[in-house]
């Protein structure tokens, strides 16, 4: 699905993502295509259909920062307080990847998302690789934490279906 | 173990060291506001095959326990560190929970520049977030 996007910076976000995509390829990882959504632009880096990270940027900033995001729970039952408590505990244990409840009308998701300056990732490829690889593994551990609290979902985020969903939810 | 070297490196930066144990180093560094921000460096050990890590924990403020949503929203704006609400303190009034700003650093190859690159925004963010959160609480 290709969605015509409004980009007030005349493609600045897409150009920044192109640079990051090259950086990801240079560290030996394969990326998907850059996807434009109505709210941001991004691409995925996958190891399997359920083990992937999304790199994204919003159109609204000067594109100096990007998000590296991994999905944890998709369309989770809407129990705000227990979800926030587990997210808080996950963030306490792993502040590199804060856990967020994304409570859209279309459904609630839990994501792990790190916001980082683009230039740091460009100049520190080992750190960029760490973020990309660490996200999905951390998401697996997060799933176990939620399950221990009796919180689970029937569906997982998948590479084949949910890259645009995670791009949108990571930037808004 | 690099922890001993990293501790010495932190001392050499000139940041005030106000406490020292086997696994922690308590630092104090004033942001431009002049207020004091306390930061605890905590040795976390090796994490799987990801090497050795330390945590930086800056004290922000105390809150009633109704603010998880606001804290989570603030995290979306940060690029260094994440706010967390800690379990209730046993000797504090009901509902009061300590809010800290946390960050993790891999120390296998940590140099002073990278450490300071993390420490400065942690201190500045902790200081400004304290004002912001306290302002929200008072409204």
- List residues bridging with B104 in a β-sheet: B55
* Confidence check: pLDDT of A144 > 70: yes
- Chain B residues whose beta carbon lies within 8 Å of the beta carbon of residue A91: 75, 82-84, 102
Answer whether A85 sits within 8 Å of B68, measured CB to CB. Answer: yes
- Chain B residues whose beta carbon lies within 8 Å of the beta carbon of residue A101: 72
In this prediction, residues A95-109 reach a mean pLDDT of: 93
Q: What are the start-end ranges of the E strands in chain A?
A: 35-36, 40-46, 52-58, 65-73, 99-104, 107-117
Alpha-carbon distance A11 to A119, whole Å? 18
For residue B72, what are the contacts with CB-CB under 8 A and spacing of at least 6? A84, A87, A88, A98, A100, A101, B83
* Confidence check: pLDDT of A26 > 80: yes
What does the mean pLDDT of chain A come to?
89
Q: How confident is the model at residue A20 (pLDDT cuts 50, 70, 90)?
A: very high
pTM (2 d.p.): 0.88
Residue with the two structure tokens 């300590």:
B98
* Confidence check: pLDDT of B81 > 60: yes
Q: What angle do CA B133, B135, B136 make, to 5 degrees?
A: 65
In this prediction, residues B87-110 reach a mean pLDDT of: 84
Give me the pLDDT at residue A8, please: 55
Tokens coding B22? 């086997």
Nearest to A61 by CA among A21, A134, A7: A7
Give me the pLDDT at residue A12, please: 77
Give me the pLDDT at residue A78, please: 93
Beta-sheet pairing, A99-104 with A107-117: antiparallel
Alpha-carbon distance B52 to A13, whole Å? 35
Alpha-carbon distance A103 to A3, whole Å? 22
Give me the pLDDT at residue B139, please: 47
Give me the pLDDT at residue A107, please: 93
* Confidence check: pLDDT of B108 > 70: yes
Q: How confident is the model at residue B136 (pLDDT cuts 50, 70, 90)?
A: low
Cross-chain CB nearest to B103 (options A95, A101, A113): A95
Beta-sheet pairing, A35-36 with A40-46: antiparallel
Give me the pLDDT at residue B73, please: 87
* Residue A64 contacts residue A72 (beta carbons within 8 Å): no
Distance of CA B127 to the CA centre of its chain: 11
Nearest to A72 by CA among A95, A54, A59: A54
Which three-class secondary structure state does DSSP give residue A103?
A: strand
* Confidence check: pLDDT of B42 > 50: yes
* Confidence check: pLDDT of A36 > 50: yes
A-chain residue closest to B71, CA distance: A88
Tokens coding A170? 């990571």
Proportion of chain A above pLDDT 90, given as a percent: 69
Answer whether A95 sits within 8 Å of B79, measured CB to CB. Answer: no
Q: How confident is the model at residue A67 (pLDDT cuts 50, 70, 90)?
A: very high
- Chain B residues whose beta carbon lies within 8 Å of the beta carbon of residue A117: 79
Alpha-carbon distance A67 to A172, whole Å? 11
**Local structure of residue B50 (DSSP, 8 states):** S
Q: Sort A28 into a burial class: Cβ within 10 Å, 0-12 / 13-18 / 19+.
A: exposed
Answer whether A117 sits within 8 Å of B79, measured CB to CB. Answer: yes
Tokens coding B90? 């046993």
* Residue A87 contacts residue A79 (beta carbons within 8 Å): no
Distance of CA A99 to the CA centre of its chain: 11
């Amino acid at each position: 699905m290709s969605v015509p996007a409004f980009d007030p910076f005349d493609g600045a976000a897409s150009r920044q993502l192109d640079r990051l995509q090259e950086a990801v390829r240079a560290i030996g990882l394969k990326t998907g295509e850059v996807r434009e959504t109505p709210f941001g632009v991004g691409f995925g880096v996958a190891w399997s259909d359920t083990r992937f990270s999304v790199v994204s940027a919003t159109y609204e900033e000067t594109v100096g920062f990007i998000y590296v995001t991994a999905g944890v729970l998709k369309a989770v039952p809407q129990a705000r307080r227990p979800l926030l408590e587990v997210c808080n505990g996950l963030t306490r244990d792993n502040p590199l990847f804060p856990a967020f409840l994304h409570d859209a009308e279309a459904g609630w998701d839990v994501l792990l998302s790190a916001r980082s300056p683009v230039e740091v990732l460009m100049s520190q490829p080992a750190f960029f690789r760490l973020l990309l690889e660490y996200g999905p593994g951390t998401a697996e551990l997060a799933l176990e934490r939620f399950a221990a609290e009796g919180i689970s979902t029937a569906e997982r985020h998948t590479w084949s279906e949910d890259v645009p969903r995670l791009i949108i939810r990571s930037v808004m | 173990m690099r922890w001993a070297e990293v501790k010495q490196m932190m001392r050499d930066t000139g940041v005030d060291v106000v406490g020292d144990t086997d696994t922690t180093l308590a630092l104090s560094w004033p942001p431009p506001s002049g207020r004091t921000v306390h930061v605890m460096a905590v040795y976390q050990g090796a994490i799987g095959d990801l090497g050795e890590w330390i945590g930086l924990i800056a004290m922000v403020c105390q809150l009633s326990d109704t603010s998880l949503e606001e804290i989570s929203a603030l995290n979306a704006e940060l690029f260094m560190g994440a706010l967390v609400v800690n379990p209730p303190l046993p000797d504090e009034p009901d509902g009061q929970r300590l809010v800290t700003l946390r960050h993790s650093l891999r120390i296998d190859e940590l140099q002073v520049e990278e450490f300071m690159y993390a420490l400065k925004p942690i201190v500045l963010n902790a200081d400004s977030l304290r004002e912001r959160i306290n302002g929200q609480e008072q409204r």
